[in-house]
A and B are shown apart, each in its own frame.
Chain A
Amino acid sequence: MINEDVLKKVCTLSRLRLLEAESAEMLDQMSRIIAHFDKLKEVSTEGVEPLYTAVEMKNVWREDEVFQLTTPKSLMKLAPDEQEGQVKVPQVVK
């Protein structure tokens, strides 16, 4: 179900890195957890519509009106690295 390669792929998708020792332990734990989760397949769910939100609710839409929440400046102030009012990151295209 899960092996080193799959874990590696999932780590990349998640943008997470595990140290070598962590990786072995994680693989062991995840294998056991996923094996347990896999028991779900014992239940037949053919034709059952998946349920994504448990409580039925009515759609309420927002009217198309512009209003200010927090000031943009107060949001940009939270940036770890900022320049000219923009967020600075490593080069996106090499």
Chain B
Amino acid sequence: MSNWDVVIGLEIHAQLQTDSKVFAPDSAGYSKHANENISEISLGYPGSLPTVNRMAVEYSIKIGLALNCNIKKNSVFARKHYFYPDLAKGYQISQFELPLCEDGSIDFMLDDKNVTVGIERAHMEEDAGKSSHKGGYSLIDYNRAGVPLLEIVSKPDMTTSKQAAEYARTVRNVLRYLEVCDGNLEEGSMRCDCNVSLKPKGQKELGTKVEIKNINSFRFIEKALDFEIQRQASLLENNESISQETRLYDSTKNKTFSMRSKEEAMDYRYFPDPDLLPLEVSDELIESIRKNLPELPLEKKERFKKDYEIPDYDASVLTSDKDLAFYFEESAKASKNPKATSNWIMGDFLKSLKESQLSFEDLKVSPKDLGLLVQLIDKGEISGKMAKQVFADMWKSGESPKAIVKSKGLSQISDPEEVKSIVEGVVSAHPGQLAEYKSGKNKLFGFFVGQVMKESKGQANPELVTKFLMEKLKS
């Protein structure tokens, strides 16, 4: 691999969550039955004409701004022509020469290093229908035809499969923060095509590029690219040429394969759609969208580091998901100890979340209760060890930590006099060990702690136990 420079660029199609389609008033939502969300407009029946959905434009601008793009005040819808049964008009309405968003960039951290990936453009277009193959014939469902998409085209700035996957995760995170796309690769509401080429180390001129489609998870982005890079490298090393083509990724075989050799080179015959006027957006609209942009992942991360004094890594994890960030902030508010709260979320909380595969809205533990649990530890009412037990119960029952502590009789003995008397009782009950300790066998300190805990059924405040034991043993 060391002989080659790898060049990777991604095209991400984000389905925008509008109510109606981008050029027609029929529903852009999901339907159980085929061809229920269709109209003469979205399917381009004779005489019908497209009209632009304001929300689709606004969402697109929102994404463009979040990706630091220039928003073009005059962009143009163009027709892209090809024949395919799921394309109802014989052309797709897209943007070609003049896209809505251009020249942006996005940053993310990978292996403790900041990576910046340029955004070439982001343009609006309509989705196509879906064909299912029945053996001998195909059936077409047009429900998805005309659903708004924003195609986000990165610059070929990435050099490893890991970067590519992380870039895609970062974009998805932004889309979710903006609440314009649910970013679900498996369900196709976000689709990722990867362009990859290899060139001899140090060479300026780019090699032949191959496009990989049909990748439906972030992990597969990495795997598909790894396979493809390997494939291209071995071809090149055998002095074979790479053909410019589209390949599909098969995740079960972990292989890419050629989609089909195209006899005719595609000629899309783009030209401005004469049914639609140029898309004019005013400065006022752009500014009002900019003003109302939510806090984005990167900004939130910096704020978390500063306001909560948590490490960079914690802040990255906590802001990697909008719901998680919200959960953390609410918990920290209740606990008044952000660092400890962060530890809890990064530890037991995320572990349980992952194991249960629950979504945030299905959680039984409220962020406030998690905060209160942290507070109980801080007040010394329960030990950290007890807290783990309490958290496990909270996760299952959704009861408040106080209620659990009470019902299980878990609360800690924090009365100094009481702890002191237990300590004194334990020490005087073990004169032999006391003598050994005094003769220098410091390890026996642990033995005394264990005895005190045993005596107190584990409820003695560990800090007080240590404090009184030290005093007693020294005297």
Contacts and interface: CB of A to CB of B under 8 A. Distances in A.
For the side of the interface on A, what is the size category? 20 to 34
Given A13-B269, A57-B277, A89 B25 contact: no
B79 to A, nearest CB: 12
Contact of B25 (A52, A57, A65): A65
Interface in A46-94: 52-53, 57, 59, 61-70, 72, 75-76, 83-93
Interface of B is mostly: loop
B283 interface: no
B20 interface: yes
Interface string B437-471: 00000000000000000000000000000000000
Contacts of B269: 13
A13 B82 CA distance: 8
Interface of A is mostly: loop
Contacts of B28: 66
Contacts of B55: 63-64
16 contacts: A13-B267, A52-B274, A61-B51, A61-B53, A62-B51, A63-B54, A67-B25, A69-B26, A72-B35, A75-B38, A83-B139, A86-B35, A86-B139, A88-B138, A89-B140, A93-B138
Nearest to A56: B277
B264 interface: yes
A52 B78 CA distance: 11
B101 interface: no
Interface string B123-165: 0000000011111111111100000000000000000000000
Contacts of B137: 88-91
Interface in A9-25: 9, 12-13, 15
Nearest to A81: B137
Contacts of B19: 64-66
A15 B53 contact: no
